[in-house]
Structure formats: structure tokens, C-alpha cells
Chains A and B, each alone.
Chain A
């Protein structure tokens, strides 16, 4: 028995030793280190051990072990989080074979899973990664009442399984006049809401039965809606016009599911109402083209949400043409140029997005034990002429 324990311990020590020598340990020095867990540290350093953050502090107080590989940068932030994109389902060719963000055979398809369509090798994923985005909340896009599920994934790996953090996170809803033209129903706003209510009422009955001793025949769509009603999934509702946002809040109040308001071009017209509803916002890209439902989009909305105390995060959203994706680093910069506090914007791109996505125990800030996702810049991250020089994901140089 003692011998066996001894053997196990030895084997364990050997394996730990092998792992630690296999991946080089890394120190990242920054003239300005944004940790998203307190004030920026001037002349800071982050020690990375086995893919996790081991120590964070001032260079004067943290000794860098001699065998560590050292990287230096003017500015370092935690890996950026895109709170809503479609990359990986939407590809850069923009041809039918690589556009899996929207299935048009029906207006309500909550059973569609993002992990079944995500292409980890899509070049747009690499593009976002090269610009500091280490985690994306991606999946089905706007254009159907319920287009499908979303997932949270690191922008690394050859397969979805290597990068996935949360395989099913939200259900993508769309409200207002933004239905894809290939979807015949609904033809009006009120019809759309009626269809959603009808399905959610069915799901209430399904859920009751699912929780009973005599569950009904499994229905994938109803299962997903029941998960929503139970709070296992969140509704991410893409909606721009103020009246449609109010309708969205009304729908949520009727059924009580967790919800995020997505896009919200006219949020600045109803700040008090949104604040009172308690729902966070994935604010539209500040450079979003002001057209159609989003024609009243403003570059100042992010600053106004912050001023009103409404929790929010940045997203790249969906683009149907060129550019095929936006980049949250660029979008947040425009929000800062239009009134949002600089350091708050960095928190929005990191820890605040992580909180809204429920992954803040693992990513979003530079704190001991968290994933070593870091972005290195040669200047102010938001300046046009600043470059991202290195990106680390899970302690590995990814760009």
C-alpha cells in the first residue's frame, strides 16, 4: 500500500516535471499593464506557468526566474472578448458553402447548435485573434425569430473541441424588421411576437412535462426553449428600434428567461427603461452602418450606457458583405473617441464581457490561476497606428 502510494507520487512528480519542461515558462513585461483587476500597473510583469497566470505585479516586486522566456511590450491587456460575433459559422468567402450563421427553412429553430457548424480554422477567426481577440461568443446570427444557439470558444485550436469553453450559451433571437427575406413568416412585428409567445407557451408545458415522472417524447427545439425557461440558456435578442426593445422587455417579463439586449441602436432613447429592466446590452459596433433598423445608431451609445450604469460589452456583430467582420478592438476605440472612458473600455472588452458571458472565473482579467490570455501592443491599444505585437492564448504564443 505504502509502496503503491510512493510509486504513484513518483509517477506524478515525473509527469509534472515533464509537463513543466515541455512548455517554456513565460514572463511578459509591460510599461503599462492593464489587469482588469484593479488599477493599471506601471512597469508591470505577468508570469505564466503551464498556461495559467502565476503572478502579476510590478517589475520591482516580482522576480523573473532566469529560465523564463521574456516578452516586452508598451501595453499589455487581458485577451479581448468579442461578446457577439458569427465568425467560424460565417466564413470569409461569403459564399453559400461557408455561411452557416443563418438557416432560412424556418423562423424558429432553437435546436440548431453552434458547435455543429463552427469552423475553428476559418481565416476570420485568425484575423480576430491577430487583433487581440482570444475569446468569442459566436454562433447563429440575426435574421430569424430564433436562429439557433451560440457558443463560447477560444480563438485557437484546429477543432472546435480544442477551443470550446461553453458549447451552448445563448439562443439568438431577432426582433423588428430584420427577418431574412427567405423566411416567409413573420410578415409583421406583431406576428413575430405572437409566434414567439406561442412557442414559449408550448415550451412551458413541455418543461412541466419534462420535469414530471412521465416526460413527453423528446423534442430538440422544445428542449432548447425549456432550457431557456429554466435559465440554462440566455436569450440574446438582436433589436435596434426603441419600440422593439420595449417589446422585447415585455416578452421577457411574460416568460422570465435570462436575456441580453443585442445591438440596441436606439438604446439612448430609453436608457431609464433599459436600466430598470436590469438586462445587459451587447452594444452594436459604433462604426455599424447607420441604415435600415439601425439607421439611428450613434457612436456615443456606449458612453451613454456607461453613464446610465447599464452593464454592456462590445461586439463585432454580423456583416453580410465587406468587411466580413468587424473587430472589437477597433470598435471600442471609436467608443472611447466618442466619450467612453479609456480604461473602462478595456474592462468592457475583458472582464465585463467575461462576466456577462459567465466565464469570468476563467478569463477576462490577469489574476493568478486564470487562463494566460494576453495581448501585447506597441502603444495605446486604441490608437489607429498601434499594432498588436503578440497574442497569448492559454500561455501559448498564438500570434
Chain B
């Protein structure tokens, strides 16, 4: 009797647990597509095999397909890595409030709504990894969060943890230029020079905190009291956390670089509207640029010299360049269009493809897991109906870690691809216009 019970128990456990695992663990082979692995030349009539959420193999039609694999015929389609967005405001999060201009302790992950429709819109555009950031109304508006757009009920299920030991889930958002500048009334700075001074003062404080930790030599009694702001800043000083710096005007771009060099932190320049004026200086600093595509210049005074030629200017200067959506400034569903418009202005096709995949993964230090289709990397990929840079191509399917998370053929998903039918609810904010 006892033996029977435990047999039933085991059967239940096996049935209950092993069947969902089996559906993920069974290899899936996608055959016949034009595969753009980014890590190498495009492959006609290629094969992509994924298993257990990872890429098992990528290659031509001779690639070995496991005998137990589910085979998906994708003849005529195009497969490329899931898109990586370095700068987005999806998820309906927030950031620092008006009590200060510097909020290194504030985490946007504590404010993300994993059920937000905006994630569906991003999946419709083929995005799989996203740096979700607080706004630009502060010198430092808070910690950003890197998300995998997995089907999730909690934000924890979406985290792209980059440092488990130190609980680092993203970078730090900083901004200079006019957005963080107020009317001179504290806590906001009134000028650009004051902005830089406030940032320097904070990092000097962090250096002092760091020295106390070093001096304690592991002796807990000698450690300074915990300080959430200082802890995050020390992570930046130690190179564990990247600064994502909103910046537009050419001189502000150079100020962002100057500060990063003074304190030796890793910085990614964001927007960089006047990059074409200082492309060589950016290249000399070895700093990557995450840029935006817009259908016209104008609308924002400090960025009126914006040009879609930034991409080609930066590429020619030798700068690592990526595109971002800044959703809702540009629509996540149009992310491939951003790169295509770079090609329109003279960027190479190869660099434009990298600029929505591996370059962005590098800027977020997640390039060991995403950004290319290579054996061992996460099985994040998109299936397109054609050339990624054609207006007529659609994202047909989006896969994350071997699971299909988006299918344009599914009517419910499709509505998010095209819009309409009251599908977009609740997302009515614009961080740029909130008076912040």
C-alpha cells in the first residue's frame, strides 16, 4: 500500500513536472530561412536548432538536426536575433521624484507593471531585451532595469540579472543639458556648469565612501553604515554598473565624456543629437553611442541640429553605435525602421544590423547571452516575412529563450502589431512632457 502511494506520488510528480519541461527541452529546428546570425555572414536556406532555451546550432542546410527535434518549416522567411533596445520607457515605470536632482538609490524595477500593454507592443516590434529607464528630468533619475520580455506575472520573472552577487539589474540613468535644469531653485541646477558640479560632488562623496570600505579590509565593525545611494555609485566606480547618459548638444556630449573620464566609469551616450559635430571626439574617447531616428528635426530646442546622419557619421568615425526607441518617442513596433533609416542616410547594412542587436547588447554587458545567433546563447530570435530593412516586412514571430512569445498570426497578438480596437490602455504619459 505504501509502495503504491509513493508510486502514485512519483507518477504525479513525473507527469506534473516533466511534461512542461519536456515541451521546452525538446529541440526545435527551424529550416529553410535566410538566417542573419550577426556574428557571421547571412546564411541562405539555413538551419537554427534551439533546446532548453538556448541555441544548439546555427548553420547551412547540412546542419545536423537531432532526430527528436520538432521541425518548423520557415522557408522564405528571415531569422535574426531578437532586437535589443538600449533606451525605452515601456512598462509604465517611473523614477526619482522632485525631492532631489540625484537619485542613485531609486530603482525603476520597483515601479514596473509587467502586465503593461507596452510590452506587447515591443514584442510586436521584435524586441526581446530592453533597457527600461527613468526619465531625463534629473541629473540622475535612478537605476535602470534590463528586462527580457518573457511572459511574466512579476517583474522578477523578466529580470536580466547582470550581477547576481551585487543585485545589479541594470545601469544608471543620467542626463545633462536642458532637461534636468530648472529655474535655478534647488534642488534642480540652474546652469550646465552647476549640473556638472553637482554630479562631481556626488561622485567625490562616493569615492570617499569607497575608500572607507577599502580601509575596513573586510572588518564589519569598521565598515561605514549602509548607504543605498553610495552603494549604487560605488558599483559605477567599480565598473559593475554602466551609466546611460542622456545628452543632446555637442558640448554636453563632451561634458558627459569628461565626467566619465574623471571618475573612470563606463558610460553610454544616449540620443547624442549633435553627434555628427563631435564624432571624432566620441571615437577618441572610445565611448559607445545609442542614438535615435526621427522623421524630422526640431521640436526640442537643444536638439534642433539633430540629424539622421548621426549613424553614418559615428560609423565612419569608428564609434560603436546602436539605435534605441526611446519609446514612446519612437514606437517599439518601428524599431527596425530606425536602423533602416540609418541605411537610407548612408550607414552600412552590416553596422545597422549590429546597431539593433549585438552593439546594444555590448552597451548593456549582456553580449555573452544575447545579440547574435550563436551556439550556447539564449534562443532569442525573430522570424520576419522578408528583409529586415524593407517597409513591407513584418515581424511574424518573436521567440525568447526557446518559447514563442509573439505570433502575428494569432488575432489577439496581431491587433497589437497594427493598433486599434481599444487595445492600448493606460499608457498616456510622456516622461519628456511631464514638466520633469
A interface, CB within 8 angstroms of B: 91-95, 123-124, 127, 268, 287, 289-292, 295-301, 319-327, 330, 333-334, 336-338, 382-387
Contact = CB atoms under 8 A, between A and B. Distances in A.
A334 B420 CA distance: 15
Given A321-B432, A337-B391, 18 more contacts: A94-B298, A94-B301, A127-B297, A287-B331, A291-B430, A295-B425, A296-B423, A296-B424, A299-B419, A322-B294, A322-B303, A322-B329, A324-B297, A325-B296, A327-B295, A330-B295, A384-B389, A384-B391
Interface string B393-436: 01000000000000000000000001111111101101011000
A85 to B, nearest CB: 11
Contact of A384 (B298, B343, B418, B424): B343
A319 B297 CA distance: 12
B412 to A, nearest CB: 15
Contacts of A123: 297-298
29 contacts: A91-B298, A92-B298, A92-B299, A94-B298, A94-B299, A94-B300, A123-B297, A268-B420, A290-B419, A291-B430, A296-B422, A297-B420, A298-B418, A298-B420, A300-B418, A320-B299, A321-B430, A321-B433, A322-B306, A323-B295, A330-B295, A334-B391, A337-B394, A382-B391, A383-B390, A384-B337, A384-B390, A385-B343, A386-B344
A94 B295 CA distance: 16
B418 A323 contact: no
A291 B299 contact: no
Contacts, number: 116
A93 B306 CA distance: 12
Given A299-B418, A385-B340, A321 B392 contact: no
Nearest to B341: A384
Nearest to B343: A385
**What is the predominant secondary structure among interface residues of chain B facing chain A?**
loop
A263 to B, nearest CB: 14
Contact of A327 (B296, B343, B344, B430): B296
B420 A301 contact: yes
Contacts of B294: 322-323
Interface residues of B, number: 38
| Cβ-closest 6 pairs across A and B | A92-B298, A298-B420, A324-B298, A384-B340, A324-B299, A322-B299
Contacts of A337: 391-392, 394
Contacts of B392: 336-337, 383
Contacts of B425: 295
A166 B337 CA distance: 36
- Interface core residue of A324, A336, A338 (most chain B CB under 10 Å): A324
A385 B331 contact: no
Contacts of B298: 91-94, 123-124, 322-325
Interface string B215-227: 0000000000000
Interface string B124-138: 000000000000000
B341 A326 contact: no
Given A289-B328, A384-B390, A93 B304 contact: yes
B296 A127 contact: yes
Nearest to A334: B391
Contacts of B341: 384
B255 to A, nearest CB: 22
A2 B295 CA distance: 62
A124 B418 CA distance: 28
